[in-house]
């Protein structure tokens, strides 16, 4: 397997020195730079660069700049996704975010896992594990989602949380590492 195939397979690959991957990241970096230089109200310009980055145009997508990603082509967004300012989608593996999901400022979705041993890290090795988020979720500010995590539909992840393990549907999760605090009754009256 070449390094791109290894990356897609979720096995150790040369993320730092492989020329093909460097070219892909540099292309994304250039597009992200152009995107982030736009006036915040230039929605047509945003749509143009998002199409180039993602390879499609998400339906009713709202983005507050600046925004960062590694490749772009591994990001899949449902309808009506909102991403607030200064979010980073480290998309070495697929990051799938369901419809009607709100992501607060300074959140990070990190698919990269690195070896514990520095001799392997120094070779540029990492593996990329997918992140999947269901529909109708809300992420408070400064949430970090770690490699390989699945978050169910209807979840709320409290500000500052670090999600290291899967979260079941309709859960309120908080903390470092994030733990389920309670189940959310989606049919309840509005919270006071």
∠105-111-13 over CA atoms, to 5°? 150
Six-digit token pair at 181? 């605090």
Q: Write down the residue that tokens 């749509």 correspond to.
A: 47
What letters, b where the CB count within 10 A reaches 16 and e where it falls short, cover 5-36?
ebbbebebbbbeebeebeebbeebeebbeebe
Residues 6 or more apart whose CB falls under 8 angstroms from that of 94 comprise 74, 75, 76, 111, 130, 131, 132
Give yes or no for a contact between 47 and 65, defined as CB atoms under 8 angstroms apart.
no
In the sheet where 150-151 sits, what is the strand order?
75-77, 95-97, 131-133, 150-151
114 as an active site residue: the answer is: yes
- 114, 123, 165, 179: the active-site residue: 114
Active site residues: 114
């Amino acid at each position: 397997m070449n390094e791109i195939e290894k990356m897609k397979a979720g096995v150790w690959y040369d993320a730092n020195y492989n020329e093909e991957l460097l070219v892909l990241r540099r292309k994304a970096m250039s597009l992200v730079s152009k995107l982030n230089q736009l006036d915040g109200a230039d929605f047509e310009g945003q749509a143009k660069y998002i199409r180039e980055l993602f390879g499609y145009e998400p339906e009713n997508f709202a983005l507050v700049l600046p925004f960062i990603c590694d490749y772009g082509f591994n990001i899949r967004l449902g309808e009506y996704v909102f991403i607030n300012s200064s979010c980073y989608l480290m998309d070495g593996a697929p990051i799938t975010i369901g419809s009607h999901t709100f992501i607060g400022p300074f959140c990070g979705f990190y698919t990269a896992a690195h070896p514990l041993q520095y001799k392997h890290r120094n070779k540029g090795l990492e593996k990329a594990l997918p992140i999947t988020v269901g529909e109708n979720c809300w992420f408070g500010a400064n949430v970090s989602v770690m490699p390989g995590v699945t978050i169910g539909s209807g979840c709320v992840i409290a500000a500052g949380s670090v999600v290291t393990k899967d979260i079941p549907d309709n859960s309120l999760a908080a903390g470092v590492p994030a733990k389920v605090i309670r189940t959310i009754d989606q049919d309840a009256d509005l919270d006071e």
